[in-house]
Chains A and B, each alone.
Chain A
Amino acid sequence: MKFARLVWANILRNKRRTALTTLSVGVAFFLFGTLRSIVTTLDAAAEVGSEARLITSSASGITFVLPEAHASRIQTFEGVRSVSWANWFGGYYTDPNDFFAQFAVETDTYLDLYPEIEITGGSKEAFVQERTAALVGVGLMEKYGWRVDQTVTLKGTIFQGDWDFTVRAVYTPTNPSFGDETMFFHYDYLYEATDGRISPGWFVLGMENPDEAAALASRIDAVFENSTAPTKTETERAWQTGFITMWGNVGFLVRAVGTAVFFAILLVAANTMMMAVRERVNEVAVMKTLGFQNGTLFGIVLAESIAITMLGGTIGLFLARMAFAGDNPVNQFFPGFMVRTETILLGLAIALVLGLVSGAVPAWQSARLSVVQAFRRVA
């Protein structure tokens, strides 16, 4: 610790160089924080899917529906507490490119299965009782400036035409990753308006005992295997993860770019430390003459390098944290996008490694420096 002042004095020796290096490390960690957060956000989104609920969907893929009759059959399975179902509506408000999710759900049972949906505006009763009522996320309400009891008209893409809904309830998710830009409405409304030409897209199952999820799922699928509409039953989390993996190689992309950034910054930082040590050859020789041990000198250079990368890392990571707090474009694209504390800690750990690696060679050079030769070079 008593050498801290010496380290600090060396850091301040060439302020411009230190500032530039710190900043370049900072921008790299800003990038790291952002990229890493994409991964954590996707992971979090997958985890919103509950392990306590099962989803039964068509084994043939997302464009296929299941007969409503499956519901009463599933209900009879031992271990199934309740069954609800939903379908994808695929409409838009005014701009076809402004996408948000709408689900036609079996209202009587759906809300009981989703404690994440906390009604914070309007009333649950009003929503459940009225056939054309809608339950809208608080974020969506803000985005479009909707009010409770307002009638909004969506255009259908799958179900043609204009669809009127009356906002009767507003929800706030208990978990931010659940998303607050979703709209729920009555399956019955869609069913009647299409003269019964629709069918559930998937069933949501509440279980008596979540530990038996796997066994229950395979029992259900076995029963429907040879029917005209075979099913695929999995936990909601696995189902969600299926959608997340559709992002493809995001993880790989992030790792590849992250690695490139790491090495680019490593070069910048290592270069700086080498320059710093090169111009200090004489001083290192003096310190050795005064009796400084090689190990101490090694540590002093390493500490300087680590201090710079940690400082840069801290700046970059916290800037990223601030940049993505609150509303921003990325947040809209990825619900719940934020730089998590784990990401910051991971980033700082990487900054530490970066400091160690970039300082290692110059530190070693100054530790093994020969005093006699150093002075001769100067003289």
Chain B
Amino acid sequence: MSSQPVEATAASTAASKGNVLVEITDLAKAYQRDAQRVDVFEHVTLNILRGEFLALMGPSGSGKSTLLNILAGLDRPDTGSVVVDGKDITRMSNKQLAAWRSTEIGFIFQFYNLLPVLTAYQNVELPLLLTHLSKKQRREHVMTMLEVVGLTDRAEHFPRQLSGGQQQRVGIARAIVSDPSIILGDEPTGDLDSKSANEILTLMQRLNEEFNKTILMVTHDGHAAERAHEVMHLDKGILHR
């Protein structure tokens, strides 16, 4: 195999940015298409430090989303391990993974993916329904998050009554409401006009700087990627950092 994994994370950066949160080692994933085996990537190794804001770029079909899905525990690698905060999620059962996702992962979707039948408030509250918080505690959390994303006055609006940018802000509030260790964004600005996209990126930057959230964002957009500390490229199954 000619592709060489790029050894990531210089020790110096690690020291300045804090300790390792995510440790991806020698990850491989292939799909069976008809009778043919199609490799998505092989030997991907990556460490993400606490408090980092990384952008991941790459052409369509390069495996960005697959990597993100594996990291979120939605998909499983063929080989390799993903250790998040000391726990190897590739060894978890589906049930354990779901529980783990609900506390450790915040996911921001390209198309917001709010539940249309729920209000903004209820959408943000959704992940908290999986916790043992009381109704009152949930309310406090949700209102705080809506304040962070600046939508306190839109709490009772349904998604269809909100603009794309507003919907994505609700999506972000939902992603952070359960205080996850890492936020994964799957082209969070991909469906937005540049003004809204800028707002969303500013918000994400703020989350990173003010609230010290670790963020991994898949994007096609070079401007979006510029907001990150570092931009990685996934191309032909190889991760360049």
| Residues of chain A at the chain B interface (Cβ within 8 Å) | 2-3, 5-6, 9-10, 12-13, 282-283, 286-294, 296, 371-372, 378
Complex CA distance for A8 and B214, rounded to whole angstroms: 36
Judged by a CB distance under 8 angstroms, whether B98 is at the interface is yes
Judged by a CB distance under 8 angstroms, whether B8 is at the interface is no
Return chain B residues, CB-CB under 8 Å to A13: 116-117
CB distance from B20 to the nearest CB of A (A): 23
In the complex, which of the residues A9, A290, A293, A372 contacts B174, with contact meaning CB atoms closer than 8 Å? A290
Complex CA distance for A371 and B107, rounded to whole angstroms: 13
Q: CB distance A292 to B98 under 8 Å?
A: yes
Q: CB distance B69 to A372 under 8 Å?
A: yes
Return chain A residues, CB-CB under 8 Å to B126: 6, 287, 290
Q: CB distance A289 to B74 under 8 Å?
A: yes
CB-based nearest A residue for B96: A293
CB distance from B130 to the nearest CB of A (A): 6
Return chain A residues, CB-CB under 8 Å to B107: 289-290
Complex CA distance for A288 and B126, rounded to whole angstroms: 11
Residues facing A in B116-142 (CB within 8 A) are 116-118, 122, 126-127, 129-130, 135
CB-based nearest B residue for A3: B129
CB-based nearest A residue for B118: A9
CB distance from B135 to the nearest CB of A (A): 8
Judged by a CB distance under 8 angstroms, whether B57 is at the interface is no
Judged by a CB distance under 8 angstroms, whether B72 is at the interface is yes
Complex CA distance for A287 and B113, rounded to whole angstroms: 9
Complex CA distance for A294 and B130, rounded to whole angstroms: 12
Q: CB distance B102 to A290 under 8 Å?
A: yes
CB-based nearest A residue for B129: A2
Judged by a CB distance under 8 angstroms, whether B53 is at the interface is no
Q: CB distance B122 to A291 under 8 Å?
A: no
Return chain A residues, CB-CB under 8 Å to B130: 290-293, 296
CB-based nearest B residue for A289: B107
Q: CB distance A282 to B118 under 8 Å?
A: no
Return chain B residues, CB-CB under 8 Å to A6: 115, 117-118, 122, 126, 129
Judged by a CB distance under 8 angstroms, whether B78 is at the interface is no
Return chain A residues, CB-CB under 8 Å to B94: 294
CB distance from B108 to the nearest CB of A (A): 10
Q: CB distance B72 to A289 under 8 Å?
A: yes
B-side interface size class: 20 to 34
Judged by a CB distance under 8 angstroms, whether B109 is at the interface is yes
CB distance from A192 to the nearest CB of B (A): 82
Return chain B residues, CB-CB under 8 Å to A282: 113
Query: Which of the listed residues A3, A286, A289, A293 has the most CB atoms from chain B within 10 Å of its own CB?
Result: A289
Q: CB distance B127 to A288 under 8 Å?
A: no
Q: CB distance B74 to A372 under 8 Å?
A: yes
Given the interface pairs A2-B129, A9-B117, A372-B69, the reply to whether A290 lies near B122 with Cβ below 8 Å is no
Complex CA distance for A24 and B115, rounded to whole angstroms: 28
Can you name 28 A-B residue pairings with CB atoms under 8 Å?
A5-B122, A6-B115, A6-B122, A9-B117, A9-B122, A12-B117, A13-B116, A283-B116, A288-B74, A288-B98, A289-B72, A289-B107, A290-B127, A290-B130, A290-B174, A291-B98, A291-B103, A291-B127, A292-B102, A292-B130, A293-B95, A293-B98, A293-B99, A294-B98, A371-B69, A371-B75, A372-B74, A378-B111
Return chain A residues, CB-CB under 8 Å to B113: 282-283, 286
Complex CA distance for A2 and B134, rounded to whole angstroms: 10
Residues facing A in B85-118 (CB within 8 A) are 94-95, 98-103, 105, 107, 109, 111, 113, 115-118
CB distance from B34 to the nearest CB of A (A): 16
Q: CB distance B118 to A291 under 8 Å?
A: no
CB-based nearest B residue for A371: B74
Return chain A residues, CB-CB under 8 Å to B69: 371-372
Interface string of B132-169 (1 = CB under 8 A from A): 00010000000000000000000000000000000000
CB distance from B172 to the nearest CB of A (A): 13
Complex CA distance for A378 and B110, rounded to whole angstroms: 12
Given the interface pairs A286-B109, A286-B113, A288-B74, the reply to whether A294 lies near B102 with Cβ below 8 Å is no
Complex CA distance for A286 and B118, rounded to whole angstroms: 13
In the complex, which of the residues B105, B111, B115, B135 contacts A291, with contact meaning CB atoms closer than 8 Å? B105
CB-based nearest B residue for A9: B117
Return chain A residues, CB-CB under 8 Å to B95: 293-294
Complex CA distance for A5 and B129, rounded to whole angstroms: 11
Return chain B residues, CB-CB under 8 Å to A293: 95, 98-99, 130
Return chain B residues, CB-CB under 8 Å to A283: 113, 115-116
Return chain A residues, CB-CB under 8 Å to B129: 2-3, 6
Complex CA distance for A10 and B118, rounded to whole angstroms: 9
Q: CB distance A291 to B100 under 8 Å?
A: yes
Q: CB distance A286 to B115 under 8 Å?
A: yes
Return chain B residues, CB-CB under 8 Å to A290: 101-102, 107, 126-127, 130, 174
Complex CA distance for A349 and B238, rounded to whole angstroms: 60
Return chain A residues, CB-CB under 8 Å to B98: 288, 291-294
Return chain B residues, CB-CB under 8 Å to A296: 130
CB distance from B132 to the nearest CB of A (A): 10
CB-based nearest A residue for B106: A290
CB distance from B62 to the nearest CB of A (A): 15
CB-based nearest B residue for A2: B129
Return chain B residues, CB-CB under 8 Å to A2: 129, 135
Complex CA distance for A284 and B29, rounded to whole angstroms: 25
Return chain B residues, CB-CB under 8 Å to A378: 111
Complex CA distance for A234 and B175, rounded to whole angstroms: 78
Residues facing A in B166-221 (CB within 8 A) are 174, 178
Complex CA distance for A288 and B107, rounded to whole angstroms: 11
